[in-house]
Structure 1
Amino acid sequence: MLATRNRLRTSTDFSTTVRSGVRNGRRNVVLYTATIGADEPSRIGFIVSKGVGNAVARNLVKRRLREAGAVSLREYGTGFAIVVRALPASATASWQELLADYNAALEVTMKRLGGRHPKSAALRSNGTTQEGTQRA
């Protein structure tokens, strides 16, 4: 579960991020990233519509995306608002595919924003760090 301070909660926050943010789409997700105050904690919000599937499928996708978001908060702890929209293909995607799409989209949006590059501890889609060590 994400801490309350790290969640986008209002429709205004979502709208602002989607409208003013940088967008990047992948097979399973579309990610919007916008900068907020440099001292503010980064916040993440998720959009998982009924088009993704039934309640069981949507909740599975949300749990997986929340975990990917928690990992990215370690890298980008302050200054960013991120909205993740799950696409229907995400319902049948594996954890590895979903994580790979999330990380790739996040990296592209951060580069477009001129943001910081991921640290070496960032998880790759195979569950290892960039040094090649397995994460516990």
Structure 2
Amino acid sequence: MLPRANRLTDGAEYKAVVRRGARCSGPHAITYVVAPAQSGATRFGFIVSKQVGGAVVRNTVRRRLKAICAQEMPRVAAGSRIVIRALPAAASADFGVLRAEIGRCLERRAA
């Protein structure tokens, strides 16, 4: 999974990335990316609301997104800030489909 150094933890950071980040959307998720202003660890944040489903479903979606981001991290520019907002369709999405969608967005915005 993602080490603590690679996670966004502050609400202000989430808000800044969502407001200033380049947006890439798909049927299952919206990805916001802020290009690196400084070198450092790439940091990811996840927004999975109750619209996605119950607690078990939300946690499953969040774990899938974390696994995808851990796999994609070497291809992302160091120092990038990324927030992924899961849409309700992510609950029923196949892992491969979700991985392809997130990978496409990261490739377009954070490479």
Specify the TM-score bucket, using the shorter chain as the normaliser. Answer: over 0.9
Aligned partners of 2:17 and 2:77: how far apart in 1? 17
- Larger relative contact order, structure 1 or 2 (CA cutoff 8 Å, min sep 6): 2
TM-score, with length taken from structure 2? 0.93
Superposed CA RMSD in Å reads 1.2
Kindly, what percent of the aligned residue pairs are identical? 38
What does residue 40 of structure 2 align with? 40
What does residue 29 of structure 2 align with? 29
What does residue 73 of structure 1 align with? 73
Q: Does 1:105 align with 2:108?
A: no
Other structure's SS at 1:69 match: helix
Aligned partners of 1:92 and 1:18: how far apart in 2? 24
- Ranges of 4+ aligned residues in structure 1 off by more than 3 Å: none
Structure 1 range deviating more: 9-18 or 35-44? 35-44
Other structure's SS at 2:39 match: coil
More helix by share: 2
Other structure's SS at 1:39 match: coil
1:78-117: CA deviation from partner (whole Å, max 9, x where unpaired): 120000000000000010111011111212223xxxxx3x
Tell me which amino acid in the other structure corresponds to 1:53: G
Alpha-carbon offset, residue 43 of structure 1:
0.1
**Structure 1: stretches of 5+ with no match in the other structure:** 111-115, 117-136
Other structure's SS at 1:84 match: strand
**Structure 2: stretches of 5+ with no match in the other structure:** none
| Equivalent residues in 2 for 1:46-65, closer than 5 Å | 46-65=46-65
Does the aligned pair in 2 maintain the 1:37–1:79 contact within 8 Å?
Answer: yes
